[in-house]
Amino acid sequence: MYRTAGKRLYRCNECKRGTYFSKREENRAGRMRCSGCGSAQLTVSAEGAEKQIMGLDARREAEAQVERNGSGSVIPG
């Protein structure tokens, strides 16, 4: 089981294998290689990026609710 939190999925243009890279790995140019064939022809997966954005939004929304009602309780509906 891989821990993928905070990582983005990249898909290899050559063998289509998906590989997760952390922000730190993304910043290190030349370190991002396909885990399958070793190719550097990687494209960031829209699916992975979307999941990360949704996660951030959900956390922001939860924090906003705590600010609004002064407690951690979630009002249904």
In DSSP terms, 21 is beta-bridged to 8
Binding flags for Zn ion, 19-48, as an x/- string (CB under 5 A) = ---------------x-xx-x---------
Q: Which two tokens stand for residue 77?
A: 């509906």
Cβ closest to Zn ion, residue 15 vs residue 66: 15
Conformational region of residue 27, where left means phi above 0, alpha means psi within -120 to 50, and beta covers everything else: alpha
Helix (H, G, I), strand (E, B) or coil at 51: helix
Least distance from Zn ion to the Cβ atom of residue 13, Å: 8
Stretch that binds Zn ion, among 15-23, 47-55, 59-67, 69-77 (CB under 5 A): 15-23
